Structure 1
Amino acid sequence: MKILLVGGSSSLAQQLIPHLSCYADIITAGRHNCDIYLDLQNPEEKGIAHKIGDMTVLIHIAAYFGKSLKDDQEDVLKAETVNALGTYKACLLAEKLKAQHVIYISTIFTQLDDHSPFFNSYALSKRHGEELAAFFCAQYKIPLTILRPAQFYGSILCKRHQPFFYKLLDDVFLGKTITLYGTGKAKRNYIHIDDVVQVIDRVVKQRVTGTYQCLYPQNISYKELVQTAINVCQSNSRLIFNTQKADGFDNTFCYTPSLYQQIGFEPQITLADGIKDYLINHKNYG
């Protein structure tokens, strides 16, 4: 089996490669530190298919997350170029490589209502990417899997995309006082990156197709996150609440285990275990 990873320098790809390498030849494509240079912002690269040869599976991981929360014109244009049109280009490449399976790593945020305070150009462009991938693969009869993971954590490379999550952890590690708005009850869904890797690994091996969410079975509040970190780290941090500020909105999704039932796997890594792993591997605590 030969697998092409588009976005091969991403945090998810780096965690995924050791697993896939056990039974497949892996080629990475991307702008940085990859086997093949591929920039999804540019017109279709010529000659890549000839350099690579036929592929069994193409896994598309590359994404543009945006520079700010403001969604200025530059961010919107870049998000659509990379996340939507870039996905179509990845599918074009899959067809040229005679790929037998395309796996597109999307995001659960594509399921946000357009009026959600969390809906942004990233969610919109990834939704367009899903639609273009489905359109192309149906036209060329290429089996397609779309996975929509929740926000994932665990690798140090995830830190740049989860700044608030990791700031809370780092403040606990340093014994700082943590202040949350309202009662800290706003909930999120976080899944450990190693669980996402296990899901993708099984989807590849079992040739599962279709569109699926990829969530952790339980949502957590920011209060639970901080308290769990304090307990795991045996930290002296104090958790206080600014009741002059309102609680934030929940950003959660209806959990359906259909994919996990098909592949015989459900996310295993608890928040406490995930924090403990981060503590051991990425921080010189104490």
Structure 2
Amino acid sequence: MKVLVLGGNGFIGSHVVDHLLAAGHKVRVFDRAPERYREPLKRVEYRLGGFDDTFQVAEALQGMDAVCHLISTTVPGTSNLDPVADVQSNLVNTLLLLEQMRKKGMKRILYLSSGGTVYGNPESSPIREDHPLNPISSYGVVKVAIEKYLNMYHQLYGLEPVILRPSNPYGSRQGHSGVQGLTGTLLARTLAGEALEIWGDGSVVRDYMHVSDLARLCVMALESDSCGVFNAGSGEGHSINEIIILIRDAIDQELQVNYREGRAFDVKEVVLDISHAKAAFGWQPEISLADGIRDQLQWLKTL
């Protein structure tokens, strides 16, 4: 299969590319910049451009069988600062992509939504896919809107979308500047001998998923005949304080932790029910959080 990976030079995208190549697919990457942490791969065709450039996107789609849409220009922590820009850069540009696919007769698309934001503060745990969608960030609202448009194109035009709602991915090649990615940021600060800055009291619980497990699921879902929405996570919840303990154990030293006032948009607990994805694709997560943190630590030491 010839697959266009939108955002294929990013953290998650680069791992999806690896797994697509390992599965024997031909890969074209469309992204705004080259990979940050490694040289271009010889077996990959790279196209650099902006997601808002419809001509460049149309050219990138030419000759492809399927699309992996992994682009997001915002993160939950900053999306509320400019919701209009969030809608324009993510929702509108995705609609333009869907129109291009419809005109070209392309059917298969995998979209990476967000299991951490679309549900809002959950009414039950673990969260199933049929849980009410009540996002409390513009990032989550836009993800839900894109999901709805994908379903509309499925109903009206025969698009074949498979949507994954990942929890909190982490692992090698993840940025660690503090904008997004808790484990990478905490590990980088630890290696630099800096204090760890935590929003709130450290009790916020998340479902942390190793990026390799997510990338493998992306490929299995894309290769399947399934359409619809699937949670993607570890199925287990861990608090920030538990993460700090795992980092302390991995690095074998005491850590200085500064707790700051909590943020209103931070959902208190997100643990996903992943039984739907397990049943549909024969997939299950393989990398424990403790092993994944040690793996990410070793990668950071190589930089």
- Above 0.5 in TM-score? yes
Q: CA deviation at 1:246?
A: 7.9
Tell me which amino acid in the other structure corresponds to 2:225: R
Deviation at 1:259, TM superposition (A): 0.9
Give the aligned partner of residue 51 of structure 2. 40
Give 2:169's aligned amino acid. F
User: Among residues 90, 95, 98, which one is paired with 1:88 in the alignment?
Assistant: 95
Q: Which has the larger radius of gyration?
A: 1
Task: Between 62-71 and 19-28, report the one with greater CA deviation.
Answer: 62-71
Shift of 1:14: 0.9
> Equivalent residue for 1:5?
5
Point out the more displaced range, 250-259 or 208-217.
250-259
Within 5 Å, which residues of 2 pair with 1:56-205? 56-66=65-75, 69=78, 71-72=80-81, 75-108=82-115, 109-112=117-120, 119-160=136-177, 161-162=179-180, 164-174=182-192, 184-205=202-223
The root-mean-square deviation of aligned C-alpha atoms, in Å, is: 3.2
The offset of 1:12, in angstroms, is 1.3
Matches within 5 A, 1:218-233: 218-233=236-251
1:110/1:123 contact within 8 Å kept? yes
Shift of 1:90: 2.0
TM-score with structure 2 setting the length: 0.79
Q: Is the 8 A contact 2:5 2:69 kept in 1?
A: yes
Which residue of the other structure, out of 288, 297, 301, is the alignment partner of 1:270? Answer: 288
- Count how many residue pairs are aligned between Structure 1 and Structure 2: 278
- AA paired with 2:149? L
Given that residues 85 and 129 in structure 1 are in contact (C-alpha distance below 8 angstroms), is that contact kept between their aligned partners in structure 2? no
- Distance in 2 (CA, whole Å) between partners of 1:181 and 1:104 is 30
Contact 1:153 1:162 in 2 (8 A): no
Contact 1:19 1:201 in 2 (8 A): yes
Is the 1:184–1:222 contact (alpha carbons within 8 Å) kept by the matching residues of 2?
Answer: yes
What is the CA-CA distance between 1:260 and the residue it aligns to?
Answer: 1.5
Measure the CA separation in 2 of the matches of 1:246 and 1:76.
21
Higher relative contact order (CA 8 A, sep 6+): 2
Contact preservation (8 Å) 2:119, 2:134:
no
Distance 2:154 2:187 in 1: 41
Q: Which runs of 5+ in 1 are unaligned?
A: none
Deviation (angstroms), 1:80? 0.6
Q: Which moved more, 1:95-104 or 1:246-255?
A: 246-255
Give % identity.
19
TM-score (norm 1): 0.83
